[in-house]
Amino acid sequence: MNNVIFYFSGTGNSLRTAQIIAQEIGGAKLVSMRNNPADVSAADAEMIGFICPVYEWDVPKAVKKFVAQLAVNPQAYTFMVATYIAIHGRCFETISTALHEKGTCLHFGKALRCVASQCIAYEPFPPVQIMVPLAERNAQKIGKEIAVRRLRKYPVMSPISKWLYPKMMTPFLNIQHEYDKGFYASDACIGCEVCRRVCPCKNITFLNKRPVWNHSCEGCNACVVYCPTKAVQFKTPDAYIKLNNVITRRLGLPEKRTRYHNPYITAADLMRDSVEALQTGVVLT
Ligand SMILES: Cc1cc2nc3c(=O)[nH]c(=O)nc-3n(C[C@H](O)[C@H](O)[C@H](O)COP(=O)(O)O)c2cc1C
């Protein structure tokens, strides 16, 4: 067995999916995509998976960059599972294109509905008690298909999404570097650095025992939902106030907003950068 699954996860849905699929395929090395791709080559792997959330109708930028730089075995069976809620957009095309450039292709692609978890903008939906067990069952089914190396054509971006993308998504992406100017730590911060260690973009550093966000944020919410004292707060940045559209007007983090994360994934799970066959691996320090 030489299976490797690369994952990116903020609120745990994608990591949980990776764990389930690893179990179904008889074990896999789970590797966070926040590693340097040069350190985690898949040049000898027989099966290579990519599991990540859909962000703004595509994969997170960090995922695109990681896959572009990753060495892969062109003979390996490759699969991708994108966790999302409603619009997968062009996420599979992005990874497929990157694999084509490496002389291979995406053999299996499937989108998996999970709890939508953008706590800066809305309450989690659909209800967690319905959606989490459903996502668990569906992830197992997907894992069984991957275990037999099924070929499955991935879903592509719909024409309507292609038409809407420049109108709805591009304005956000143009100011994304401004997004994390909204984060700050309240007096409840105990300087534990959990936010730094769960951040899939390695975007947080510490200065005088307080977190500093360094403008490579993709809005995953890990720092908010895994903070043990709920100290991470958010005030809508000026650039987003200026955009003033139906989505930016919703931004904010009211005291009572549910800070959802996948119930099976702890902060310690996300801090682990590499888990060999579901065993404890390297802890990021
Ligand atoms: C910044 C951000 C952007 C998102 N964009 C989309 C999107 O374009 N389409 C969609 O269906 N879901 C979108 N979602 C929902 C996530 O894809 C979904 O909650 C995913 O399961 C989160 O994965 P994670 O728990 O591994 O971080 C978005 C969530 C966040 C935080």
What would the pLDDT profile of 81-130 be if each residue is shown by its tens digit? 999 999 999 999 999 999 999 999 999 999 999 999 889 999 999 999 99
Write phi, then psi, for 157 (nearest 5 degrees): -65, 135
Q: How far is 40 from 245, CA to CA, in rounded Å?
A: 41
Please, what sign has the CA dihedral across residues 206, 211, 213, 216? positive
Q: How far is 108 from 96, CA to CA, in rounded Å?
A: 10
Closest by CA to 199, choosing from 25, 17, 32, 16, is: 32
Average pLDDT of the chain?
93
Q: How far is 47 from 150, CA to CA, in rounded Å?
A: 12
Q: How far is 9 from 199, CA to CA, in rounded Å?
A: 9
Peptide bond into 126 cis (omega under 30): yes
Domains of the chain: 3-160+265-283 (3.40.50.360), 171-250 (3.30.70.20)
What does the pLDDT look like over 206-230, one tens digit per residue? 999 999 999 999 999 999 999 999 9
Closest by CA to 270, choosing from 254, 284, 258, is: 284
Determine the distance separating the centroid of ligand 1 and the alpha carbon of 222, expressed in angstroms: 12
Statement: residue 277 has pLDDT above 50: no
What does the pLDDT look like over 48-80, one tens digit per residue? 999 999 999 999 999 999 999 999 999 999 999
Statement: residue 285 has pLDDT above 60: no
What does the pLDDT look like over 13-38, one tens digit per residue? 999 999 999 999 999 999 999 999 99
Residue among 118, 164, 180 whose CB has most ligand 1 atoms within 8 A, to mutate: 118
Q: How confident is the model at residue 275 (pLDDT cuts 50, 70, 90)?
A: low
Nearest-atom number in ligand 1 for the CA of 52 is 26
Determine the distance separating the centroid of ligand 1 and the alpha carbon of 64, expressed in angstroms: 15
Residues within a 6 A CB radius of ligand 1 = 9-14, 53-57, 83-87, 89, 114, 116-118, 219-221, 262
Task: Write the DSSP string, 101-142.
Answer: TTT----EEEEEE--B--TTTS--BS-HHHHHHHHHHHHHHH
DSSP bridge pairs for 81: 51, 110
Q: How confident is the model at residue 274 (pLDDT cuts 50, 70, 90)?
A: low
Lowest-confidence region among 61-75, 167-181, 269-283: 269-283
